[in-house]
Structure 1
Amino acid sequence: MSWSDIRLFFQQLFFLCQKELIALVKDPRLKFMLVVPPIMQGFLFGYAANYNLEEVPYAVIDESHGALAHDLIAHIDAAPAFDRVATLTNANEIADQIDSGNVICVVVIPQDFDRLIERGGQAPVQVIADGRNSSIAGLATGYISQIVATWNAERIGTGGITIQSRTWYDPNQETQWNFVPSLMAMISFTQVMLLAGMSIAKEREQGTFDQLLVTPLGPSQILIGKAVPPVLVGLFQALAIFCIARFWFEIPCAGSLLAIVATLVFFMVSSTGLGLSISAISENMQQVLIYVLVLMIPMALLSGMATPVANMPEVLQLFTYIDPMRFAIDAVRRIYLEGATLFDVRWDFLPMFCIGAVTMPTAGYLFRHKTT
């Protein structure tokens, strides 16, 4: 292949990419989809996807009416997250308070609480929590356990073993720090899948696909030209999420923005084959949407964004190795929160490379098969 042939190849590819970008920008529906959803999802995940329990409405049943019981209740009331909304007189009132959703938990202090404490014994304090949301119930009971432990230590006095906890990379244990940076990988992956999938299907639906085939462009040029614009759009949306995380939620970025961009570009390029494969086998955009939804939900669940991969059954952990989103989210989180370098996350690039090495030739084969 001569230099003029190479130049012509890239010149034709440039014009095809330019045509695809113009088509994306001029379509009012796509223009709305490219700008509004990622910004809206960035704010929604930042505020709504919050595992921190900011407010705990609770009720108290004090059967002891002693000084020690009163002091313990005062410690719970003084905690910033706790809001006592009811003081009950007997256990029969607990069900109504929990069933109605007025309280997350009820603290029950037994009748002989003060007497047992003064004799040096252990006095049980019962915490009845609303188990319809197990994570919130667990957090609420954990908070109360910490308050009781602190109250016990203050009453007994200092000395012995003290615990000073520190949390690396997320000092206040805020779930925003975990979720919002991860959105950079998830949003970009969604756009690559959706836009790459709809590109060829849209041409078929509008009747322009046959015109594209009679141009001097080869199948490889068409595939690359259809892949580059979604990658650019995904990168733009990922940078929008980065700005929301860094400047709105003020989540400090410990790593390099260039390393994050390099990771996202590699991830999107390696994942483009999935979207192009979907586009090659789909006859219209409705089929693309169905395929994307069927794939995206399990891939998001297996990515480790919401729940750790180590907590999944071993069979599902094996399936995560064919999910490129898992490795992209891990790399982006480590770079953003830990300050990791590209060398530190190099093992996340290997699975993404393998996935791309399989999906891109598959997309090329399906494309040639459908066009012959």
Structure 2
Amino acid sequence: MNFSLQRFLRHLYFICQKELLSLFKDPRMRTQLVMPVIIEGFLFGYAANYNIEEVPYAVVDNSATASSRDFLAHIAGAPTFSCYAVCGNVQEVSTLIDAGDVLGGVIVPEDFEKKLEHGEQAPVQVITDGRNPMIAGMVKSYITQIAASWSEEKGYASLPVSIETRTWFNPNQLSRWTFLPSFLAMIAFVQVMFLAGLSIAKEREQGTFDQLLVTPFSPTEILIGKATPPVLVGLFQAAMVFLIARFWFEVPFAGSLFTLFLTLFIFMVSTTGLGLSISSVAKNMQQVLVYLLVLMIPMVLLSGLVTPVNNMPEFLQVITYADPMRFVIDAVRRIYLEGAGLTEIAGDFVPMVAVAALTMPLAGWLFRHKTT
């Protein structure tokens, strides 16, 4: 092994060892790293919930008759629904749901009008996206109401249109199936940002930072050494949440562990860069906490964790492209519930890698110019 590389790895080992010892030596810090993850994991599993105001959906009209067009027009006229696409078959609807472009599909059978004319029940299939269970339930409820309203308007004595629903990825429409996979990313985001953000400011307040600067470690080695422990802690906490979701709440995992944790790792590198940049410019820990709160709250709100991104105003949707948390939540949900592979979520990697490529060099520059 090249001597310079060997020396770099040796220095990196000692810095990481020092950072990890400083984290876990304090009993209070050990408690803070473990207990919030467990408590919040169970809280999200039992109590988290949300609603939505807009449902983009796709249509497959196999009947192509006046009755089917009139029925679909009633759905399109509902304030909550917006028709995103008219498809030729169910496979096209499946592609749109997988990509997150639509939240459901309405499939009208070929014999729709014929059954109505003979006084029989005409089933209409509604496919919903179980990755958003509240949306799935609302889609079913709204379309059932629309079917009842349409039947009454047409003067049918009974309800001739029956709604048959299928919920993909989350058949029981459980909210925790959506929130717990998302919480994998959120807990890592919060902890990594705080640990990376407080890293330099804490040493500056304790008076040990100047001692670190006079060691034979280069600024790059110090920066990487300070970035590595927060990422390791974030991966450890994400693994804890994964175990809670998978084995306590029994949320089925459909994807690959390698793909899941690779996605989380890339996301954590980008957030570590943000945290270290803040830590380099802040003069004390109080400033770091203020900066982190100002930055983290908008990032969480714009991520799609609480409300879907397509439900936000257009100018906010544009801003979300600078938020790596938006893309990690989308990727983690798809990996966990849908079983998406690397090629299917590659588009989510691009913004996260771009943020990491920007923030890590920025943190290095700030570290060299603001702390020496």
Residues in 2 aligned to 1:262 and 1:8: alpha-carbon distance in whole angstroms: 27
Residue 357 (structure 1) shift: 1.0
Render the CA deviation track for 1:176-235: whole Å, top value 9, x for unaligned. Answer: 111111000111011111000111111001000000000000111111000000000000
Alignment of 1:100-249 (within 5 A): 149=148, 156=157, 160-249=160-249
Q: Which residue of 1 aligns with 2:122?
A: none
Residue 286 (structure 1) shift: 1.4
Residues in 1 aligned to 2:328 and 2:147: alpha-carbon distance in whole angstroms: 41
Residues in 2 aligned to 1:172 and 1:304: alpha-carbon distance in whole angstroms: 22
Q: Which residue of 2 aligns with 1:367?
A: 367
Residues in 2 aligned to 1:147 and 1:264: alpha-carbon distance in whole angstroms: 42
Q: Which residue of 2 aligns with 1:81?
A: none
Q: Which residue of 2 aligns with 1:339?
A: 339
Residues in 1 aligned to 2:28 and 2:288: alpha-carbon distance in whole angstroms: 16
Alignment of 1:46-85 (within 5 A): 46-51=45-50
Render the CA deviation track for 1:325-345: whole Å, top value 9, x for unaligned. Answer: 011111000000000001110
Q: Which residue of 2 aligns with 1:286?
A: 286
Q: Which residue of 1 aligns with 2:28?
A: 29
Residues in 1 aligned to 2:366 and 2:329: alpha-carbon distance in whole angstroms: 29
Q: Which residue of 1 aligns with 2:39?
A: 40
Q: Which residue of 2 aligns with 1:9?
A: 8
Residues in 1 aligned to 2:215 and 2:222: alpha-carbon distance in whole angstroms: 10
SS at match of 1:12: helix
SS at match of 1:185: helix
Residues in 2 aligned to 1:262 and 1:363: alpha-carbon distance in whole angstroms: 22
Residue 171 (structure 1) shift: 1.0
Q: Which residue of 1 aligns with 2:323?
A: 323
AA matched with 1:11 = R
Render the CA deviation track for 1:14-43: whole Å, top value 9, x for unaligned. Answer: 111011111100122221110011111111
Residues in 1 aligned to 2:17 and 2:148: alpha-carbon distance in whole angstroms: 65
SS at match of 2:280: helix
SS at match of 2:161: coil
Q: Which residue of 2 aligns with 1:114?
A: none
Q: Which residue of 2 aligns with 1:107?
A: none
Aligned residues: 284
SS at match of 1:166: strand
Residue 370 (structure 1) shift: 1.3
Residue 301 (structure 1) shift: 0.3
Residue 270 (structure 1) shift: 2.2
Residue 287 (structure 1) shift: 1.3
Q: Which residue of 2 aligns with 1:102?
A: none
Render the CA deviation track for 1:277-330: whole Å, top value 9, x for unaligned. Answer: 011011221111111111111100000011110110111111101101011111
Residues in 1 aligned to 2:24 and 2:145: alpha-carbon distance in whole angstroms: 54
Residues in 1 aligned to 2:272 and 2:358: alpha-carbon distance in whole angstroms: 11
Q: Whose Rg is larger?
A: 1
Gap change, CA 1:307 and 1:10, over 3 Å in 2? same
Residues in 1 aligned to 2:181 and 2:295: alpha-carbon distance in whole angstroms: 22
Residues in 2 aligned to 1:300 and 1:37: alpha-carbon distance in whole angstroms: 18
Please provide the CA RMSD for this pair.
2.6
Any conservation in 1 of the 2:50–2:306 contact (CA below 8 Å)?
Answer: no
Render the CA deviation track for 1:115-158: whole Å, top value 9, x for unaligned. Answer: xxxxxxxxxxxxxxxxxxxx9xx97xx59x769959x99x9557
SS at match of 1:163: strand
AA matched with 1:18 = Q
AA matched with 1:43 = F
SS at match of 2:306: coil
SS at match of 1:216: coil
Any conservation in 1 of the 2:280–2:371 contact (CA below 8 Å)?
Answer: no
Q: Which residue of 1 aligns with 2:261?
A: 261
AA matched with 2:302 = L
AA matched with 2:284 = N
Render the CA deviation track for 1:210-264: whole Å, top value 9, x for unaligned. Answer: 0000000011111100000000000010011111111111110111112111111
Residues in 2 aligned to 1:301 and 1:318: alpha-carbon distance in whole angstroms: 14
SS at match of 1:171: coil
Residues in 2 aligned to 1:269 and 1:51: alpha-carbon distance in whole angstroms: 29
Q: Give the TM-score normalised by structure 2.
A: 0.72
SS at match of 2:335: helix
Uncovered stretches (5+) of structure 1, i.e. residues with no partner: 53-134
Residue 371 (structure 1) shift: 2.7
1:302 aligns with 2:321: no
Percent identity between matched residues is 64
Uncovered stretches (5+) of structure 2, i.e. residues with no partner: 52-133
Residues in 1 aligned to 2:366 and 2:2: alpha-carbon distance in whole angstroms: 30
